[in-house]
Amino acid sequence: MPEIRNSVAPGRLLKRKFFARSVHDVASDLIGATLLFNGVGGIIVEIEAYHHTEPAAHSYNGPTPRNQVMFGPPGYLYVYRSYGIHWCMNFVCEAEGSASAILIRALEPTHGIALMRRRRMLHDERSLCSGPGKICAALGVTRDHNGLALDHAPIEIHARREVPQIVRDVRIGITKAADLPWRLGLKGSKFISKPFRNGA
């Protein structure tokens, strides 16, 4: 059984339908939700939205073998290789063919912390999941999990119970469409990958 340290109990399980609307609406509602993979994970405190109409998205130039999951129906997991080393995970949103997705950038660890520490070979809780590559390493997500449904095992996403305060900034690590303020964070969280300019 995973250890549970957070005093705030997660809410109801999200179904795939939750993701079948504007990627920006989904993003706002995901901050504060709890993501678990095989019972390991935590509270989503930082995400970025990508849409096929802007050049930073992997889907901008149309379907390819890599991004085919993005072009499928909403509510599925899109995993890609980053810089030849890391895995990064996304939630596909909107509608089939829309090819929009949300990059999961940081979690506040709450479930299975001992296992995450072992996988990351790192004790510091604040750094366990403070980046998209770190999350996949801590949760054990790889290319094998590309295309999994977000509302079936081994994935669980619990709705948040209260509406949090959200901060917003430009996205990290991109050169195209770098001015779009599509990075969202939980205000005041110490578990984000990088500070927000307007105070997180």
Partner DNA sequence: CTCTTGATCTTCT
Partner DNA sequence: GAAGATCAAGAGC
Write out the residues near DNA by the rule CB under 7 A.
48, 50, 56-59, 61, 64-67, 70, 80-86, 88, 90, 101, 103, 120, 122, 127, 131-135, 171-176, 193
Task: Tell me whether residue 1 or residue 85 sits nearer to DNA (CB atom).
Answer: 85
Least distance in angstroms from the C-beta of 21 to DNA: 18
Least distance in angstroms from the C-beta of 160 to DNA: 22
Q: Which residues of 48-67 are buried (b: 16+ CB within 10 A; e: fewer)?
A: bbbbbebebbbbbeeeeeeb
Least distance in angstroms from the C-beta of 109 to DNA: 14
Q: Strand, coil or helix: what is 66?
A: coil
Least distance in angstroms from the C-beta of 174 to DNA: 5
Which residue, 41, 88, 84, is CA-closest to 69? 88
Around Cβ 140, how many Cβ atoms within 10 Å? 17
Least distance in angstroms from the C-beta of 70 to DNA: 7
Distances (CA, A) of 39 to 4, 84, 110, 156: 10, 27, 10, 8
Question: To 5 degrees, how large is the angle CA 56–CA 61–CA 64?
Answer: 110
Least distance in angstroms from the C-beta of 80 to DNA: 7
Task: Tell me whether residue 15 or residue 120 sits nearer to DNA (CB atom).
Answer: 120
Task: Tell me whether residue 34 or residue 59 sits nearer to DNA (CB atom).
Answer: 59
Q: What is the DSSP letter of 169?
A: E
Task: Tell me whether residue 12 or residue 123 sits nearer to DNA (CB atom).
Answer: 123
Task: Tell me whether residue 6 or residue 64 sits nearer to DNA (CB atom).
Answer: 64
Q: Which residues of 170-190 are buried (b: 16+ CB within 10 A; e: fewer)?
A: ebeeeeebeebebbbbbbebe
Task: Tell me whether residue 13 or residue 177 sits nearer to DNA (CB atom).
Answer: 177
